[in-house]
Structure 1
Amino acid sequence: MTNEREALLLAAADFLSRRPNATVPEIAKAMGVSRATLHRHFAGGRAELLQALSDLAAEKLQLAIAEARIEEGDCADAVRRLVAHCEEGAPYLTLLYSFSQEEAPDIPHPAWDEADAAIYGLFERGRRSGEFTTDLTAAWLTEAFYSLMAGAVWAVQSGRCAQRDFIPMVAQMVLSGAGHNDTDKQST
């Protein structure tokens, strides 16, 4: 992927995460490009743009999971590492979260399913080990993780929170919700 294309996708993700039903002309205007430029990169229009965003989000999430080594060590540290490694791709994840809430595009994505299963597995492992509460399901903790990532992106985008607070905000809330009481550790 070219840097220009990825920059366009990031701009589209930032805008569409706040306005998921925007039209192609609105998307182009928000991205600061002409419709012709947008069409040159995504000739299939909105559908191709959404597919590219979905592909990139899944790629970034899989990379974050691999780099965070979430299957290693205690689960709380794994969550902190996961949040830290997801920060860069958070706008893409937020976009997918927005679409799943708004219009749930029918984009099959085995890579996304694999990533989702890995995060679910982390929370399930934490529940089995006793690090996390068994009062909440791993499925709910996984959904809460995505929701908190989206909320943090929106808070930073709107200027209500600083980017430097992204990792501690998300990690502390996830771990507090998971019933883990040692949330003072910094992410690694």
Structure 2
Amino acid sequence: MSTRDTVLAAAQRLLTTEPTASMAQIAAAAGVGRATVHRHFSSREDLLLEIGERSLARWDESQREVGMAEVVASGDPARIRACLEELLDRFVVDADEMGIALTDPTVVNAPDLRARADELFAQEVTLYAAAQEAGVLRADVPARWLGHSVYGLLVAVRDALVAGDIARRDAEALVRSTFLDGSAAR
């Protein structure tokens, strides 16, 4: 792992639990000097933007790796449900690892990152709409609402993990059951 990657990984972990951590604290968490951090990132904002970019890349990768587009095209309820379960599990891992990217103002308000997030969200909404059409998810709410619900659960799981309110081993199952049972077709 490169020094840059070490700093990013340490920053992601630290900022999830301490969102106002300084560059000096990030350097200490990475086991490097502050000058090394500044050699890779000229400012805290640059570091946060890189975390945001990596988070969006993971979101995109998760959608592709679960075959979301193919599953949506299939219309098969069993495949759609399995895809939802796998995607939710991946999102929980990402929220645990890069939770700061969910709510940090620098990340969520950066125009380029916001535009990319909107694209990915729109793609994801097609899965929720297909799930509604296939009778997997309830059809009496907008598909975009289901997407916002997932986002809310990811913030909740990140916060619950940080607070120690849930065990890490239970996180995926809790999000899956909360979303899929609470949003199930009636």
**Shorter-chain TM-score tier:** 0.7 to 0.9
Task: Write the distance in 1 (CA, Å) between the matches of 2:84 and 2:132.
Answer: 13
TM-score between both structures, scaled by the size of structure 2? 0.79
Q: CA deviation at 1:81?
A: 1.0
- Partner of residue 10, structure 2: 11
- Partner of residue 63, structure 1: 61
- Partner of residue 110, structure 2: 106
- Partner of residue 117, structure 1: 122
Q: CA deviation at 1:93?
A: 5.0
Structure 2 residues not aligned, in runs of 5+: none
- Partner of residue 141, structure 1: 146
Whether the 8 Å CA contact 1:148–1:170 is kept in 2: the answer is yes
| Aligned residue type for 1:138 | A
Whether the 8 Å CA contact 2:136–2:185 is kept in 1: the answer is yes
Matched ranges for 1:23-172 at <5 A: 23-42=22-41, 44-71=42-69, 72=71, 73-74=76-77, 75-91=80-96, 93-99=98-104, 104-109=108-113, 110-172=115-177
Task: Write the distance in 1 (CA, Å) between the matches of 2:185 and 2:157.
Answer: 20
1:93 to 1:179, Cα distance in 2 relative to 1, 3 A: farther
1:142 to 1:38, Cα distance in 2 relative to 1, 3 A: same
Task: Write the distance in 2 (CA, Å) between the matches of 1:32 and 1:159.
Answer: 25
Q: CA deviation at 1:67?
A: 1.1
TM-score between both structures, scaled by the size of structure 1? 0.78
Q: Secondary structure at the match of 1:89?
A: helix
Q: CA deviation at 1:3?
A: 4.4
Structure 1 residues not aligned, in runs of 5+: 182-188
Which region of structure 1 is more displaced relative to structure 2, 148-157 or 135-144? 148-157
Task: Write the distance in 2 (CA, Å) between the matches of 1:93 and 1:124.
Answer: 27
Q: CA deviation at 1:60?
A: 0.8
The two structures, once aligned, show a CA RMSD in angstroms of 2.6
Whether the 8 Å CA contact 1:67–1:85 is kept in 2: the answer is no
Whether the 8 Å CA contact 2:138–2:184 is kept in 1: the answer is yes
- Identify the structure with the greater helix proportion: 2
Q: CA deviation at 1:163?
A: 2.0
Aligned residue pair count: 178
